[in-house]
Amino acid sequence: MKTLKDMLADARQVVPEEGPAEVARRLAAGEKVVVIDVRDPDEYRDGHLEAATNISRGFLEFRVGSAVSDASTPVVLYCQTGLRSMLAAKALKDLGYSNVVNLQGGYQKWVQSGMPVIREVPMTQDQIQRYSRHFLLPQVGDKGQKKLLRSKVLLIGAGGLGSPTAFYLAAAGVGTLGLMDGDTVDITNLQRQILHTTADIGKPKVESGTRTLKALNPDVDVISLPTRITVDNVMDVIKDYDLIVDGSDNFETRYLVNDACFLAGKTNVHGSIFQFEGMATVFAPNQGPCYRCLYPTPPPPGLVPS
Amino acid sequence: MLPGVVGTIQATEAVKLLLGIGEPLIGRLLTYDALGMRFREVRLRRDPKCPLCGTAPTITDLAVHRNGAGGACDVSPDGHPEGVAAAVAPKAGG
């Protein structure tokens, strides 16, 4: 009769192992890896890798098809210490999944290595109702909504572009919105800057913006930053956010945000408008061009309205 | 109304990026002409000579923003290939 030790040794012959650093690197590089947590649901809820889908060991062969569409898709399996998932990975190999690795040391080693984990926070009844239409979208679902609730987006400018962006991100349940703007509300803003109302004239835009966003969705933590973005504060401000949305109204700020985001490795969702024309693009460091690739030099002063 | 269209596109892109779904506007510039009511897409390529993200970057920190030069780098425009900048004028407003 085979012992457990023999079975693990057999599995190790065919299943390669990767440590936390290597798996983290692959995920950070945007590799389309399917990460499966084969522990029981209560273990998963107590903490898991952000990218992980939970399929308990007992159901793995039955449900793996729903998580991994193609037998050659890269798959990483893990359990608590790396033993259960080693046997599970062997089972997937036997089913014909060719690109399966085991997370060496499991969840325990991942945590000890200081890697980030997610703890499942159950949604309230209000949240389940508020986001019910998102749950119907297979690309969002319960998992996506929780991800949005954990996400942090910085909005540079609470004006014409920042207003609708912030409105929709708050409605969608993006958990933390940084609202950065050093201006106060002026009556001339109101024909387009929809976060602010007539009663807000003279108040800081971040104040009226925060009130409007909280009224729409109290789930959202609005961080009010009543200052202009400058070379001295930009790195410190952006470091706390997953994503930066540039809704600024001048070239100086755009070059500054572009450079800071590139240097900090942050993706910058860019938008700008002039009269009846607008444009939008995404600057993702090292995945595509930056604002300077597009506009190596600022436009001549004549093009810039005061 | 125009900023609403562009800002809503930015919000959509933000959510897609946060969730890792769909095709983000990386390397694509979407332009919107409200009077003609037309969207256009311009492919963007990385500029190997870009002073920030090119192969031999000259901007490695934010010092260029401290000299009061409007934040722009002081490179000669002929150092760059004809970009889309000529075809798509930069937009001033926000």
- pLDDT tens, per residue, chain B with 94 residues: 999 999 999 999 999 999 999 999 999 999 999 999 999 999 999 999 999 999 999 999 999 998 765 444 444 333 333 344 545 667 767 7
B78 touches chain A (CB under 8 A): no
CB contact under 8 A, A293 and B18: no
- Choose the closest CB to B27 out of A260, A267, A288: A288
Which of A169, A288, A297 lies nearest to residue B11, judging by beta carbons? A169
Spatial separation of the C-alpha atoms in residues A58 and B6, rounded to whole Å: 48
In terms of C-beta density within 10 A (0-12 exposed, 13-18 middle, 19 or more buried), how is residue A164 classed? buried
Q: What 3-state class would DSSP assign to A78? A: strand
Q: Per the CB < 8 Å rule, is B18 touching A267? A: no
| SS3 (DSSP) at B41 | strand
Give the CATH class of A151-303.
alpha beta
The residue of chain B nearest to residue A192, with distances taken between CA atoms, is B1
Interface of A with B in 264-293 (CB under 8 A): 267, 269-290, 292-293
Query: Is A246 in contact with A254 (CB distance < 8 Å)?
Result: yes
Give the nearest partner residue to B10 out of A251, A260, A280, using CB atoms: A280
Domain spans of chain B? 1-44, 47-94
SS3 B94: coil
Nearest CA among A289, A205, A208, A216 for reference residue A248: A205
Contact criterion met (CB < 8 Å) for B15 and A290 = no
- Strand-pairing partners, residue A16, are none
CB contact (8 A) between residue A163 and residue B7: yes
- Chain-centroid distance of CA A248 in Å reads 22
Q: d(Cα A145, Cα A143) in Å, to the nearest integer?
A: 5
Residue among B22, B6, B27 nearest A288 (CA): B27
pLDDT of residue A302: 57
Write down the pLDDT at residue B82. 37
Q: What is the pLDDT of residue A119?
A: 85
ipTM over 0.85: no
- Beta-carbon separation of A287 and B62 below 8 A: no
pLDDT at position A299: 73
Average of per-residue pLDDT across A68-95? 94
Spatial neighbors of A55 by CB under 8 A, at least 6 apart, are: A36, A37, A38, A63, A64, A67
Cβ atoms of A169 and A176 within 8 Å: the answer is: no
Q: Where are the domains of chain A?
A: 4-112, 151-303
Share the mean pLDDT of chain A: 94
Q: Which pLDDT tens digit goes with each residue over A135-192?
A: 999 999 998 999 999 999 999 999 999 999 999 999 999 999 999 999 999 999 999 9
Residues from chain B contacting residue A195 (CB–CB below 8 Å) = none
From its phi and psi, is residue A275 left (phi > 0), alpha (psi between -120 and 50) or beta? left
Q: Assign domain A4-112 to its CATH superfamily.
A: Rhodanese-like domain (3.40.250.10)
